[in-house]
Amino acid sequence: MAQARGLGLLLALLLPVVSASMPGTVVRLNKAALSYVSEIGKAPLQRALKVTVPHFLDRSGGVPQPTRIRILNVHVPRLQLKFIAGFGVRLQAAANFTFKVFRAPEPLELTLPAELLADTRVTQSSIKTPVVSISTCSSFVGHASESDGSNSTSHARLVLVQKHIKAVLSNKLCLSVSNLVQDLNVHLGTLIGLNPVGPESQIRYSMVSVPTVTSDFISLDVNAVLFLLGKPIILPTDATPFVLSRHVGTEGAMATVGLSQHLFDSALLLLQKSGALNLDITGQLRSDANPLNTSVLGRLIPEVARQFPEPMPVVLKVRLGATPVATLHTDNATLRLQPFMEVLAAASNSAFQSLFSLDVVVNLSLQLSVSKVKLQGTTSVLGDVQFTVASSNMGFIDTDQVRALVGTVFEKPLLDHLNALLGMGIALPGVVNLHYIAPEIFVHEGYVVISSELFYQS
């Protein structure tokens, strides 16, 4: 079972399982991915083909004599995987078996070549995961020869031993492949679990339909659902389905992943609903890094100076009532935040008094990156932060004067907070132990494409 799981995980590279909600993600595995699996899949396949051979009953002496036979080694010099358009994947493999025949007066070693050919079909299960089935499988076992090149064994005896071994392999090789596929299906069935996004949020992927297979790639249309406290984040359904063009990303990449605007909108709505974007910026007395206190504000707002003759700390309470907006244009991704900021000061009784509030508009440049299995982001401010007075308990507020002071204190904590959240990342479609490496990210009108190599960590 462990051997089957090893190859099953490798075969799972062909079928990145993804989970549940609005259509908006496409995972495409290209020919280069098949080449990679062909290379790293040889060792697990060798272990899987090391089957048990029952005793050979030698009847040449009249009385049947059981002869023990054991496979010493299986070497797979060639493993090829090829897409079959409209169907699935074809597996072709060549294997060389080394057997030890425990016969008197001394053991005999035999080598025997074999060929495997299997066509697999990929469909969709009732729980929205891929299901792999073998459509056809055949094996061809060649002629055995003695490893030392001698002819110490009689031809008749060698023919009988070879016939026994060939009969065993003919029955067991395709069965071994079938067992691998069954174990793979069990493994794939576990991949609909939730991947954490934050302490109280998760993302789940699921297939939308049967995979599309061409001669160049296998493509899975995927739903991504984000959950907050166990409840799905629901956006209005986009009447236009997300379709990934054939000619996007880097030519020759193993994987091409398309992420629609819908996924970004869902992630931002999740951050807003969870309150993760909210923050409090606390002023400190005698701090050059954060000079915001009533004494400093009093120089700009006379009523603050009158009500707070002694300097008191000021707090900026920043709340995101409106969902941030991500805009994806060719080679350019931006975010727009519209937080509500309340400015409060500590009163003498340790309570906080509201001084005034501001409506804020912040435009940010969004830079995307991929680390192993997660899509991450960093932001920087574009242009000036816009402040508008929403209400005031301190009389007239000169917005231009307040902007100079509040903006200085506001921008850095906001960016630090936002970049920390975006740096946590969101899990991309994938399978256990599979990482994206050397990714390239392309921003298009309304969607993002990731072209990447793959690395399977066994």
Would you state the pLDDT for residue 6? Answer: 45
**Does residue 89 carry a pLDDT above 50?**
yes
**Does residue 326 carry a pLDDT above 50?**
yes
Domain residue limits at 41: 30-189
Q: Which residue, of 131, 158, 189, is where some domain finishes?
A: 189
CA dihedral of residues 431, 432, 434, 440 (deg, nearest 10): 50
Would you state the pLDDT for residue 24? Answer: 81
Best-predicted range by mean pLDDT among 6-15, 199-208, 327-336?
327-336
Would you state the pLDDT for residue 21? Answer: 43
**Tokens 């009108």 -> residue:** 445
401 and 322 within one domain: yes
**Does residue 380 carry a pLDDT above 90?**
yes
What are the pLDDT digits (tens) for 403-419? Answer: 888 888 889 999 999 99
155-189 and 2-11 helices cross at what angle (nearest 10)?
60
Structure tokens given for 249: 């990303």
**Does residue 22 carry a pLDDT above 60?**
no
Structure tokens given for 396: 């007239």
377 and 307 within one domain: yes
What are the pLDDT digits (tens) for 146-156? Answer: 765 555 555 66
Residue 16 inside a domain? The answer is no
277 and 148 within one domain: no
pTM to 2 decimal places: 0.85
181 and 286 within one domain: no
329 and 400 within one domain: yes
pLDDT band for position 103 (50/70/90)?
confident
Residue 353, CB-side half-sphere exposure with 13 Å CA sphere: 17
Residue 272 inside a domain? The answer is yes
325 and 254 within one domain: yes
Average pLDDT of the chain, as a whole number: 85
**Does residue 438 carry a pLDDT above 90?**
yes
The mean-pLDDT minimum among 176-185, 297-306, 436-445 falls in 176-185
424 and 326 within one domain: yes
Q: Which residue, of 165, 189, 213, is where some domain finishes?
A: 189
What are the pLDDT digits (tens) for 292-308? Answer: 788 888 988 999 999 99
**Does residue 170 carry a pLDDT above 70?**
yes
DSSP string covering 277-302: T-EEEE--TT-SS---BHHHHHHH-H
Spatial contact of 365 and 334, defined as CB atoms under 8 Å apart: yes
126 and 238 within one domain: no
The mean-pLDDT minimum among 193-207, 357-371, 431-445 falls in 193-207
Residue 4 inside a domain? The answer is no
Would you state the pLDDT for residue 19? Answer: 37
250 and 167 within one domain: no
Would you state the pLDDT for residue 341? Answer: 94
Residue 417 inside a domain? The answer is yes
**Residue 136: which CATH number?**
3.15.10.10
Best-predicted range by mean pLDDT among 176-180, 323-327, 432-436?
323-327
Would you state the pLDDT for residue 426? Answer: 92
Residue 201 inside a domain? The answer is no
253 and 169 within one domain: no
Residue 217 inside a domain? The answer is no
DSSP string covering 117-181: EEEEEEEE-TTS-EEEEEEEEEEEE---EETT----S-HHHHHHHHHHHHHHHHHHHHHHHHHHH
Would you state the pLDDT for residue 408? Answer: 80
242 and 169 within one domain: no
**Does residue 2 carry a pLDDT above 50?**
no
**Does residue 364 carry a pLDDT above 60?**
yes
Residue 14 inside a domain? The answer is no
Q: Which residue, of 155, 189, 223, is where some domain finishes?
A: 189
**Does residue 190 carry a pLDDT above 80?**
no
DSSP state of 183: H
pLDDT band for position 73 (50/70/90)?
very high
pLDDT band for position 458 (50/70/90)?
confident
Would you state the pLDDT for residue 354? Answer: 94
**Does residue 7 carry a pLDDT above 50?**
no
Interval 261-289 mean pLDDT: 83
**Does residue 14 carry a pLDDT above 50?**
no
245 and 180 within one domain: no
Residue 182 inside a domain? The answer is yes
Q: How many domains does the chain have?
A: 2
Interval 192-214 mean pLDDT: 85
**Residue 329: which CATH number?**
3.15.20.10
Interval 134-151 mean pLDDT: 80
